[in-house]
Amino acid sequence: MKHHFPKLFFLPLLWIACLSGYAQEIPMKTLTLDDLSNFRNTPGNWQIVGNVTMDRTLDIHQKPAEMPSKKNKKSDAPAKNPVTFTAGKGILLNNLTPDLEGNLKKAIDAKDWAKVASYQLFTTWEHGDIELELEVMLPKGSNSGIYLQGRYEVQLYDSWGVKNPSFSDIGGIYRNWENTPGKIYMGKAPLTNAAKAPGLWQKMKINFQAPRFNESGQKIANARFISVELNGVKIHNNVEVPLLTGGAVEDNEKATGPLMIQGDHGAVAFRNIKYRVFGTGKVVLNALTYNYYEGSFKQTADVLTASTKKSGNMPLLTWDVGGKEDKFGYGFDGKITVPEDAKYFFTLQNNGGAKLLIDKQAVVDHDGDHGVWEQGKGSINLTAGTHDFTLLYFKNTSWLAPNLGLFVESANMRLQPLHAFTSLPPDESPVSPILIEPTAETKLLRAFLDFRGNNQKRLTHTIGVGEPSGIHYVYDLKAGNIVCIWKGKFVDATPMWQDRGDGSFRTLGGTQYLFTDQPLGVLANANAAFPKEYDEANFRGKGYSLDEATGRPVFKYVVNGLEVEDKIVPDDENRILTREIKIISAQKQANTYFKLAEGNSIETMPDGSFAVDDKQYYIKVISADKPVIREVNGRKELVVFVNASVKYSIIW
């Protein structure tokens, strides 16, 4: 068997892709938003508030039409404000009042760029490498940006419904405006548009690597966005940024700089800002030697009692030098050098058993027989410098592939692998994914769905409905319910069809889960709870028919003797889903109610719609009785009485 020692200069790029989603041991810091003390020279357009509401129908740049004057009236009703808020803590809001906006316009007209720059917000601290998580809310038509080190912008923009996003849409890495050859950077568009509707909270994760400089101050490596995610969708992967983007705080690149938030282009709100700043130090394994053993080992202690079959030096930690893939063991010895005094967290990931010792002290005990999906963890306080390193490993299960991975991190250091890339590949049995996409017609696919990704909440009678326009949903035939919605690509059917399969598919894109169980029911009274379990005695699914004109399904079922048709169609330029439930039987039943939404919170919005689950999506009722917000078992529900039909839209 060949010894696999990949060239070192290839490893950083390979590991970037592998580690971006790895579970880390060190918690992120929270940027407290009790006041503005985490920011410097705070301008008047920024403030801390308790709640914020943004009317999704009002463009912040569009002035309200003047109402015709009326005799004997001193004034008309005040114009609607697209952004309103309440006093409190926890939300950072850029609120450009008319006075502030007027002063900003004067500064722009006068080309007073220092005054314009005073509207931006800077953290009191600086960063190099950083992982950043936050939630952001934008009103219709607004524009802002997050500048890493104050120099590299990730764009924030109301991009809801944009089909072909560019660098100027939300999540785009912005361009600069240089004209000199060699100084031009054209930016980078997001891989897909994962934007939500205006006025909803959107989640963003940024993993950024700062530029590197030598001792003379010369740049030796460009800044890099290792990954950027928006609403659970990866929109950038390992993007190098060779130059500053437009609007940088200074015309230079540095090892560190403050986080900057743009405040001169429109209203924007932030909450739940978390971050983790890293140094550039690395842990190094060197002077590695190995002793290779063969046998059916049960514990790591058994390995050292066997006769050595092979020994030698190795440049990188790997299981792959002995010649066998089963019934073998290793004893690795060497030196481990750490960059600073700190507590270091180690993780072992392997098929078989392993034990890590540093300075003869047990750090991770992952002994016995484990699968690579399990992790052994441990920590130790180490002083800067070199320490003794010992690792024992064995494998004794023939049906598992040999794998050995060792990771380390500290409060000031990124999660770092200490093994050869081939010793723990990112996927031990890679296969081409089986991706399903609608073509010219609506695509229907029956499969199981793990609600919120939890296989303990597996729904077994679900059907995915994919639209060629890129708006999709999953329908539970056993409950007559839409359980999740999303935009972008349709589904990954690999779990269902690869090898024996498990019958499930995975939605692709930023999935918005709604709720499970039956939404239509005949209740004892207006305050009674809907059935939480499937009511087989009173619910009977009748499948679906296909609309001849569109090929879309019309779902049919019977609830308490009521014949029901359920039709769901894309609407508003394929940005929303509109649903109509009709009771087609002649007989009607009193106390028939429909649950439009369920969540931890439901708020009435200025346009009459309802924001669900702390502004994760909207419900807009088109035709029905007036909905009621009620609380059942600690959860809010949006419920409406049903006479003959209910029609509403889901907006996200």
Query: Are 255 and 285 within one domain?
Result: no
Burial call 402-430: b when 16+ CB within 10 Å, e when fewer? bbbbbbbbbbbbbbbbbbbbbbbeeeeee
Query: Are 588 and 561 within one domain?
Result: yes
- Does residue 20 form part of some domain? no
Long-range contacts formed by 179-187: CB under 8 A, 24+ apart = 183/243, 184/243, 185/241, 185/242, 185/243, 185/244, 185/245, 187/245
Chain position carrying tokens 């995915």: 464
Phi, psi values for residue 393, rounded to 5°? -150, 140
CB 278 within 8 A of CB 412: yes
Look up residue 331 and give its amino acid.
G
pLDDT at 112: 81
By DSSP bridging, strand 458-466 and strand 491-492 are: unpaired
CA 519 to chain centre: 28
- Does residue 372 form part of some domain? yes
Query: Are 414 and 441 within one domain?
Result: no
Query: Distance (Å, rounded) from C-alpha 460 to C-alpha 450?
Result: 9
Query: Are 479 and 444 within one domain?
Result: yes
Closest CA to 486 of 634, 617, 623, 346: 617
Give the list of residues 6+ apart from residue 249 with CB closer than 8 angstroms, or none: 117, 120, 122, 147, 150, 151, 257, 258, 260
Q: Which of 393, 423, 453 is the last residue of a domain?
A: 423
Query: Are 477 and 573 within one domain?
Result: yes
Instruction: Please count the residues of the chain.
Output: 652
Query: Distance (Å, rounded) from C-alpha 164 to C-alpha 286?
Result: 49
- Does residue 512 form part of some domain? yes
Query: Are 38 and 154 within one domain?
Result: yes
CB 95 within 8 A of CB 85: yes
pLDDT at 248: 93
* β-strand partners of 229: 205, 234
Question: For residue 537, what pLDDT band results from cuts at 50, 70 and 90?
Answer: confident
Question: Using CB atoms within 10 A of its CB, is residue 26 exposed (0-12), middle (13-18) or buried (19+)?
Answer: middle
Query: Distance (Å, rounded) from C-alpha 652 to C-alpha 28?
Result: 28
- Does residue 19 form part of some domain? no
Q: Domain range for residue 404?
A: 281-423
Question: Using CB atoms within 10 A of its CB, is residue 54 exposed (0-12), middle (13-18) or buried (19+)?
Answer: buried
CB 418 within 8 A of CB 404: no
pLDDT at 13: 45
- Does residue 352 form part of some domain? yes
Q: Which of 278, 304, 320 is the last residue of a domain?
A: 278
**Least confident span in 106-115, 146-155, 206-215, 541-550:** 106-115
Tokens of 558: 């019977």
H runs (alpha helix) in 129-198: none
Q: Mean per-residue pLDDT for 404-426?
A: 95
Give the list of residues 6+ apart from residue 94 with CB closer than 8 angstroms, or none: 45, 46, 121, 144, 261, 263, 266, 267, 268, 269
Look up residue 538 and give its amino acid.
N
Q: pTM for this structure?
A: 0.90
Query: Distance (Å, rounded) from C-alpha 411 to C-alpha 278?
Result: 8
SS3 98: helix
Closest CA to 19 of 374, 409, 380: 409
Residue 150: is its pLDDT beyond 50? Answer: yes
Q: Which of 390, 423, 456 is the last residue of a domain?
A: 423
Query: Are 234 and 182 within one domain?
Result: yes
- Does residue 212 form part of some domain? yes
Question: Using CB atoms within 10 A of its CB, is residue 574 exposed (0-12), middle (13-18) or buried (19+)?
Answer: middle
Q: Distance of CA 385 to CAs 337, 364, 389, 408, Å? A: 5, 20, 13, 15
CB 267 within 8 A of CB 136: no
Query: Are 631 and 603 within one domain?
Result: yes
Q: Mean per-residue pLDDT for 223-245?
A: 97
DSSP line for 20-38:
TT---SSPPEE---SSSTT
Give the list of residues 6+ apart from residue 75 with CB closer than 8 angstroms, or none: none
Average pLDDT, the chain: 91
Query: Are 128 and 265 within one domain?
Result: yes
CB 603 within 8 A of CB 553: no
Query: Are 532 and 488 within one domain?
Result: yes
Query: Are 403 and 489 within one domain?
Result: no
Query: Distance (Å, rounded) from C-alpha 380 to C-alpha 343?
Result: 6
Question: Using CB atoms within 10 A of its CB, is residue 56 exposed (0-12), middle (13-18) or buried (19+)?
Answer: buried
Q: Distance of CA 67 to CAs 76, 606, 613, Å? A: 7, 19, 36
CB 108 within 8 A of CB 227: no
Chain position carrying tokens 């301008």: 43
CA 327 to chain centre: 41
CB 419 within 8 A of CB 318: yes
Query: Distance (Å, rounded) from C-alpha 444 to C-alpha 441?
Result: 10
For the beta carbon of residue 621, count every other beta carbon within 10 angstroms. Answer: 18
Q: Mean per-residue pLDDT for 411-418?
A: 95
- Does residue 457 form part of some domain? yes
Question: For residue 121, what pLDDT band results from cuts at 50, 70 and 90?
Answer: very high
pLDDT digits (tens, 9 = 90+) for 163-203: 999 999 999 999 998 889 989 999 999 999 999 999 999 99
pLDDT at 22: 55
- The count of domains in the chain is 3
Question: For residue 17, what pLDDT band results from cuts at 50, 70 and 90?
Answer: very low
- Does residue 12 form part of some domain? no
Query: Distance (Å, rounded) from C-alpha 362 to C-alpha 49?
Result: 49
Burial call 257-274: b when 16+ CB within 10 Å, e when fewer? bbbbbbbbbbbbbbbebe
Phi, psi values for residue 417, rounded to 5°? -80, 145
Question: Greater confidence, 108 or 471?
Answer: 471
pLDDT at 9: 36
Tokens of 369: 């027989």
Q: Mean per-residue pLDDT for 582-590?
A: 87
CB 366 within 8 A of CB 350: yes
CATH code of the domain covering residue 49: 2.60.120.560
Question: For residue 61, what pLDDT band results from cuts at 50, 70 and 90?
Answer: confident
Question: Greater confidence, 602 or 68?
Answer: 602
Question: For residue 535, what pLDDT band results from cuts at 50, 70 and 90?
Answer: confident
Query: Are 533 and 631 within one domain?
Result: yes
**Least confident span in 4-13, 76-85, 476-485:** 4-13
Q: Mean per-residue pLDDT for 152-164?
A: 97
Query: Distance (Å, rounded) from C-alpha 594 to C-alpha 630?
Result: 13
Query: Distance (Å, rounded) from C-alpha 229 to C-alpha 147?
Result: 16
pLDDT digits (tens, 9 = 90+) for 291-336: 999 999 999 999 999 999 999 999 999 999 998 999 999 999 999 9
**Least confident span in 34-38, 56-60, 341-345, 429-433:** 429-433
pLDDT at 544: 97
**End-to-end Cα spacing for the chain:** 54
CATH code of the domain covering residue 317: 2.60.120.1560
Please report, for the chain, how many H helices and E strands are present, in that order: 5, 45
